[in-house]
Amino acid sequence: MHKLVTILLLLSATPAYPCATFALPDNRMPDFKKAQPQTIPNTIIAKSYEWHDESGLVFINKRGIKKQSLVLLPSDKPATWQSRFASLTFNQYGREFPVGGINEQGIVIEASILNLTQYPKPNNLPTVNELNFVQYLLDQAKSTDHAIELAKKVRITPIYAKLHYFVCSPEGSCGVIEFLDGKLITSSGAFIESPIALTNSPFKKCYNAWAERNMNITAIKYYRFINLYKLIINAIKSKNNNITTAWNILKWLTSNSFSPMQWQIVYEAGEKQVHFRTREHKSIKTVNLNNFELDCNKPALITSLISDATGDISKSFTPYTQKANYILVANSLRLLDKNISQEKISLIANYPQQFKCMLNKND
């Protein structure tokens, strides 16, 4: 009976699609307390994306593009900005709406479902939607603290999902951006002292449950975070913190999930290098953002997430087309809502057509 109650508690506390993101300091990183780094910091960030759909595109987004956010409500004021940094992103709902990615400063942003999210009520701030927000940060953030400051300058008006966000830098400064009770809540710091991981519950509640470390109902509710946190800390203490360990932790997450893994991603933030695999295409693919021309006088690039390629897939990228974006948007949105209007699909798919490359321009 006790085991049955425990299982029911776990099931009731677990979101339908539990994702997880975490960070590990690379073995090569020195002790920041003792000396200045003598090598390039290369924090490892990993993401398990558990959803109902495997499909998607990997984008190489260019620097120097003037943008305006997509708004659906006449009362919303769109945010405007220019992409200071190029980025590599994983997109399931169209260009400019990534689930996560890395920019050329090595800043990684990843989004996950948080059912307790309550976005701020309408105010005077310009707006972005919940995935446009990821691109907004990647386009401009040069550090974790900078990403948090940028988050304060806009208001999220969601199209579909309640999300929270994981942010991390090559140096190991990681943070969480959440919206609880209509307020922006952030947590950040050097994870080398206090690691940061993100599941599908508010970070501070998860961390407090870990700090208590007893098997009361609260701890059971956050069991996935607690066990993930144990793995991270053990890896750091044993100095077994490397890419292989990240993949092993991702494997553990998959084996302890109620939902199918769709994507697994491992970022080497300092190297601007990304490794990934998907549910039906398990070979590991690698892309380095440094291998591409990143100015906007050349088009954005795309490649499919789902292929049997392995190793370096840089040569598989082709110029972005509006047709490819439309197919991605239409297929993905119809899985969420089979009755979605053609007008809404076209609005989201055609949104990037407004962008302008501002290189060598004064306006």
As a whole number of angstroms, the distance between CA 53 and CA 262 comes to 7
Tell me the pLDDT band of 187, cut-offs 50, 70 and 90. confident
As a whole number of angstroms, the distance between CA 285 and CA 310 comes to 5
Q: How confident is the model over 271-297, as a mean pLDDT? A: 95
Q: Which of 204, 257, 259, 197 is nearest to 228 (CA)?
A: 197
Would you say residue 8 has pLDDT above 60?
Answer: no
**348 in Cβ contact with 94 (< 8 Å):** yes
* Amino acid sitting at position 137: L
Model pTM above 0.85: yes
pLDDT at 336: 86
Beta bridge partners of 164: 112
Q: Specify the range with the lowest mean pLDDT, choosing from 22-36, 90-104, 106-120, 314-328.
A: 22-36
pLDDT at 362: 46
Q: Specify the range with the lowest mean pLDDT, choosing from 93-97, 214-218, 264-268, 346-350.
A: 214-218
pLDDT at 283: 94
Q: How confident is the model over 219-248, as a mean pLDDT? A: 85
Radius of gyration of the chain (CA): 20
Q: How confident is the model over 22-41, as a mean pLDDT? A: 58
Vertex 268 angle, CA 263 and 273, to 5°: 80
Instruction: Note the pLDDT tens digit of each residue in 162-172.
Output: 999 999 999 88
DSSP letter for each residue of 316-338 = G-EE--HHHHHHHHHHHHHHH-T
**274 in Cβ contact with 286 (< 8 Å):** yes
Starting at the earlier edge strand, list the strands of the sheet with 318-319.
183-190, 173-180, 163-168, 108-113, 98-103, 87-91, 57-61, 301-304, 318-319
On average, the pLDDT of the chain sits at: 86
